[in-house]
Amino acid sequence: MALRPIRLDNRRISALDKSQTVTPQESVRPMPDYDLVIVGAGPGGYVAAIRAAQLGLSTAVVERDQVGGVCLNWGCIPSKALLRNAEVVSLFKHAADYGVSYDNLRVDFGKAIDRSRNIAQRLTRGVESLLKKNKVTLVKGTALLKGNGRVEVKGGGTLGAKSIIIATGARFRGLPSLAVDGKSIITSREALELKQLPSSVVIVGGGATGCEFAYLYAAYGVKVTVVELLPRLLPTADAEVSQALEQSFTQQGITVMTGAKVTKSTAGQPVKLSLEGPKGAQDLTSDLVLVCVGIQGNTDGIGLESAGVAAERGFIAVDDAMRTSAKEIYAIGDVTGKLALAHVASAQGVAVADRLAGKEVPALNYSLMPRAVYCQPQVASWGLTEEEAKQTGRPYKVGKFPMLASGKALALGDRQGFAKVLVDAQYGEIIGAHLIGAEVTELLAELSMAKMLEGTAREVGWLTHAHPTLSETVKEAALAAFGEAIHI
């Protein structure tokens, strides 16, 4: 696609090839104008860039750190690799159940970390190849919005764009009572490089990240305590799921303290914590404290004010079309504070790219976005929880099927958990799905597809599922909503 010449550094220049990667140090080589410039190459930014390029838009992405963002490099991917290691270790611990014995089992957590880093690096290279394949220009540097469709790359040139997408993501948030020092009080970012296991760890925050690390460390024999401010683990999950997870954690030797708040901390060896909870004041000591209490948007230092982009409580305000307060500037992903999940950022990025290419795109329904937690047992859900369904006042039915009654789950040796569906009593529409158990993150998509195609719980129940499979639990749960389950 030919572009008009533009002026940079007082020179008249021609457009560059869109498939190259450039750096600010190459500012003597002028950068071209684009249909779309994206700030940030995480799962929102790079996906938006590829989709926009597929639709014929000339596209550039500016990334100051690593392609793939936090998710690929320091979140979703390396943590799941480590969790797989934990599953293998757990399987060895229960080898006698399968008639397998061994002597002198040794585990090397450092090699597990190395494996996770290698996987992340391989995927980073893959994303860079995809950008090049789709002729997206990758600009290495720090972006600064300058207004009027201009993005300055610090230390380099300026990119002109018809539209801009901000996809700068978010960073881990600390607490006034817990000053992260990167050594004895850390976030998951540091934890993903920590090759030496502590003998004990206190995890502050019982959300998805906290629960995943709790399982990981416990599997390797670390003494784990989870401290959660709210009354239960996974506070936004269905109450029955939270209760089942807490019971499983207790069986795994994990101490769970809910309704507890850290009031004071003293870094060192060991770390000293003061808590306030249902039992009053309490002191804890631990080799390590891992803080998993949420995120804050990366909105500072990127020129929001110059570009006229409004922020609220540290996140960029957007409408249903992901438009910001500034014309032709959009924001996607964690920086919007909508729903901090990689697949949500990707969906937002595709939606914006489609709109810019003139396609009609429906607004995203965040209540139906799948949520997944990869501890063991796994947790997966979308839609209304039972508490939320009660608040709507609409009549509903509950279908529930235990993993204990699944032949495949018993064969796998993973019989904890259940599949649960909430069904509109009048029309049979599935309004919520909540699963806990072995590999349930892989089972959720069936119910999501049924919802998207306007199917009913009866149709999920009628569908013949292969036997024996874990997916049969979904079928039976759907039938159970009408009192028609076969195996309970």
Band (155; pLDDT cuts 50, 70, 90): confident
Residue 106 to residue 251: CA distance in whole angstroms = 23
CATH number of residue 248's parent domain = 3.50.50.60
Whether residues 32 and 120 share a domain: the answer is yes
| pLDDT, greater one: 339 or 4 | 339
Residue 378 CA to its chain's centroid (Å): 14
Res. 25: pLDDT tops 60: no
The residue among 154 and 260 whose pLDDT is bigger is: 260
In a domain, 448, yes or no: yes
**Region 15-20 average pLDDT:** 44
User: Considering the domain boundaries, does residue 178 fall inside one?
Assistant: no
Is 176 contained in some domain?
no
Q: Give the C-alpha separation, 448 to 177, whole Å.
A: 40
Catalytic residue list contains 467: yes
> Does position 128 have pLDDT exceeding 90, yes or no?
yes
CATH number reported for the structural domain that contains residue 437 in this entry: 3.30.390.30
pLDDT value, residue 21: 60
pLDDT value at position 358? 97
Candidate list 343, 434, 465, 467, residue with the active-site label: 467
- DSSP bridge pairs for 261: 276
For residues 202 and 259, state if they share a domain.
yes
pLDDT in tens, 219-249: 999 999 999 999 999 999 999 999 999 999 9
Answer for the pair 409, 425: CB distance below 8 angstroms, yes or no.
no
Does pTM surpass 0.85?
Answer: yes
Which domain covers residue 431, as residue numbers? 377-480
Mean pLDDT to the nearest integer, 351-369: 96
The answer on pLDDT for 183 being more than 50 is: yes
What pLDDT sits at residue 173? 86
Of the residues 242, 264, 293, the one at which a domain ends: 293
Helix (H, G, I), strand (E, B) or coil at 417: coil
> 218 and 166 in one domain?
no
Q: Count how many residues are written for the chain.
A: 488
Euclidean distance between CA atoms 213 and 437, whole angstroms: 17
Count of domains in the chain?
Answer: 3
Share of the chain above pLDDT 70, in %: 93
Domain assignment of residue 158, yes or no? yes
Specify if 269 maps to a domain.
Answer: yes
Instruction: For residue 213, give the nearest of 399, 374, 427 by alpha carbon.
Output: 374
Domain end (from 250, 267, 293): 293
What digits encode the pLDDT tens for the residues 411-459?
A: 999 999 999 999 999 999 999 999 999 999 999 999 999 999 999 999 9
Q: What is the DSSP string of 231-290?
A: SSSSTTS-HHHHHHHHHHHHHTT-EEEES-EEEEEE-SSSEEEEEEETTEEEEEEESEEE
Would you place residue 199 in the very low, low, confident or very high pLDDT band (cuts 50, 70, 90)? very high
The predicted structure's pLDDT at residue 9:
37
214 and 331, same structural domain? Answer: no
